[in-house]
């Protein structure tokens, strides 16, 4: 494909997916330096994209905007081609309705007719498959854990394959997000964080409770680590996580030594402030969620209890560089990819806080905590 003068890229809809798509964007920019690249994105991700060096412009739409409204905001003469990152019908419909002449995306039922260049999925791509309750019970009865996924199926390849189909060389690379020193300093000042060592906590997960390590285990882990390494404990999260964040903070403030600080920033940060706060952290203890990907992309070591999902497909270390610590116990039904556990949540409850604390301390020592 010859480089278009003006390319529209339709963003994915979730924070973690957005971060995982950044290597594909960087590959496009490297191959097509003269192309004007515009990102069409849900408004909640706009600040992430505005800071990305591969992009020239960001167009945001809001949850109330249907596909017709989004298309009306895109003039047909503004873009020569559209690259559609999500797999949904709607994401292909928007540039079709806008009259953009070249529309490239993964082929799919119904939506292929909206694309001028439907790209077949790579046969090596490994799709997530949700397990049934009956299957979960049967697997646990057998008692053997069989990991069906590999890093070759990581989600970054889904986006890189699209770019390669355009004739662009897209080498494997980990997501990278930039943060300015001024942003980090502003985050410290806004939340009055004084301690030199900052450790992040992210106990939420928007997808559902099956991805959430018990909040009591977070508290146990923090207490264990704080006895050996006092720090400023910064508790991140969305507005939906405020209750959990405040509960954890309350438990900690009643039990940690005075040289520790506890700060709840859940529901109080913009997306850029989230990036800055995670960059400030020496380590982030987190569930498998969007901030996990952001932290890894800004260079912060992440410690992640994994249960219902697969680190091979959506983990923070797509290249297998072992920069981060994945903790799981090999429960036979894991990963199930369900929002809620239909049995007893054993994939998470069997992960001991002492093991997680040891991983946090090892990461701090490796980074030379101050």
Same domain, 45 and 194: no
Residues 114 and 196 in one domain: no
Judge whether 170 lies within some domain: no
> How far is it, in rounded angstroms, from Cα 59 to Cα 19?
18
What is the extent of the structural domain holding 269? 181-367
Rounded distance between C-alpha atoms, residue 14 and residue 28, angstroms: 21
Let me know whether 61 and 85 are in one domain. Answer: yes
Domain final residue pick, 165, 198, 214: 165
Model pLDDT, residue 254: 87
Residue 259 lies in a domain: yes
More confident residue, 126 or 89: 89
pLDDT value for 167 = 93
- φ, ψ of residue 61 in degrees (nearest 5): -125, 160
Separation between Cα atoms, residue 106 and residue 112, nearest integer Å: 8
pLDDT in tens, 284-304: 999 999 999 999 999 999 999
Domain end among 165, 196, 227: 165
Indicate the helix (H) or strand (E) that contains 103: strand 102-106
Within a domain: residue 171?
Answer: no
Predicted confidence (pLDDT) at residue 349 exceeds the cutoff of 50: yes
Give the C-alpha distances (Å, rounded to integers) separating 75 from 53, 63, 95, 102: 24, 20, 10, 14
Cα 253 versus chain centre, distance: 29
Contacts 24+ apart (CB under 8 A), 63-69: 67/93, 67/94, 67/97, 68/97
Residue 325 has pLDDT above 50, yes or no: yes
Query: Domain check: are 192 and 322 in the same one?
Result: yes
Strands 81-84 and 198-202: unpaired
The answer to whether residue 77 is domain-embedded is yes
Residues 138 and 266 in one domain: no
Same domain, 199 and 343: yes
**Shared-domain flag, residues 108 and 157:** yes
**Do 288 and 146 belong to one domain?**
no
pTM: 0.95
Same structural domain for residues 220 and 348?
yes
Whether residues 74 and 157 fall in one domain: yes
pLDDT tens readout for residues 164-203:
999 999 999 999 999 999 999 999 999 999 999 999 999 9
pLDDT per position as a tens digit, 45-91: 999 999 999 999 999 999 999 999 999 999 878 999 999 999 999 99
Rounded distance, CA 341 to CA 308, Å? 8
For residue 107, what are its two tokens? 């082929």
Q: Is residue 337 in some structural domain?
A: yes
pLDDT in tens, 233-266: 999 999 999 999 999 999 999 899 988 999 999 9
Same domain, 341 and 204: yes
pLDDT for 29: 97
Number of domains in the chain: 2
Q: Is residue 289, in this structure, part of any structural domain at all?
A: yes
CATH of residue 251's domain is: 3.40.50.2000
On whether both 361 and 228 belong to a single domain, the answer is yes
Q: What is the mean pLDDT of the chain?
A: 95
CA distances from 7 to 14, 65, 173 (A): 21, 22, 22
């Amino acid at each position: 494909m010859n480089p278009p003068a003006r390319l529209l890229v339709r963003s994915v809809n979730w924070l973690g997916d957005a971060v995982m798509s950044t290597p594909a964007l960087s590959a496009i920019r490297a191959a097509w330096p003269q192309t004007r690249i515009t990102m069409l994105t849900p408004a909640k991700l706009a600040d992430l994209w505005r800071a990305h060096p591969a992009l020239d412009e960001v167009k945001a739409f809001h949850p109330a905007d249907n596909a017709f409204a989004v298309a009306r905001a895109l003039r047909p003469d503004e873009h020569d081609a559209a690259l559609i990152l999500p797999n949904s019908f709607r994401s292909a419909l928007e540039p079709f309705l806008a009259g953009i002449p070249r529309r490239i995306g993964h082929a799919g039922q119904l939506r292929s007719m909206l694309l001028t260049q439907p790209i077949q999925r790579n046969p090596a791509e490994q799709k997530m498959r949700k397990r049934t309750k009956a299957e979960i019970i049967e697997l646990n009865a057998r008692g053997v854990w069989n990991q069906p996924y590999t890093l070759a199926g990581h989600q970054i390849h889904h986006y890189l394959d699209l770019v390669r189909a355009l004739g662009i060389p897209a080498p494997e690379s980990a997501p990278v997000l930039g943060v300015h020193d001024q942003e980090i300093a502003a985050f410290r000042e806004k939340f009055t964080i004084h301690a030199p060592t900052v450790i992040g906590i992210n106990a939420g997960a928007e997808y559902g409770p099956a991805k959430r390590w018990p909040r009591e285990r977070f508290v146990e882990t923090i207490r264990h680590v704080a006895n050996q390494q006092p720090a400023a404990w910064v508790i991140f999260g969305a507005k939906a996580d405020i209750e959990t964040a405040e509960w954890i903070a309350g438990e900690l403030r009643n039990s940690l030594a005075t040289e520790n600080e506890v700060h709840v920033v859940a529901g109080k940060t913009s997306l850029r402030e989230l990036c800055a706060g995670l960059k400030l952290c020496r380590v982030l203890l987190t569930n498998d969620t969007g901030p996990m990907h952001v932290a890894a992309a800004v260079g912060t070591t992440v410690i992640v209890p994994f249960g219902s999902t697969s680190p091979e497909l959506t983990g923070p270390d797509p290249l297998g560089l072992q920069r981060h610590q994945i903790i799981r116990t090999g429960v036979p039904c894991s990963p199930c990819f369900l929002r809620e556990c239909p049995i007893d949540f054993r994939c998470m409850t069997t992960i001991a806080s002492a093991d997680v604390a040891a991983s946090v301390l090892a990461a701090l020592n490796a980074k030379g905590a101050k």
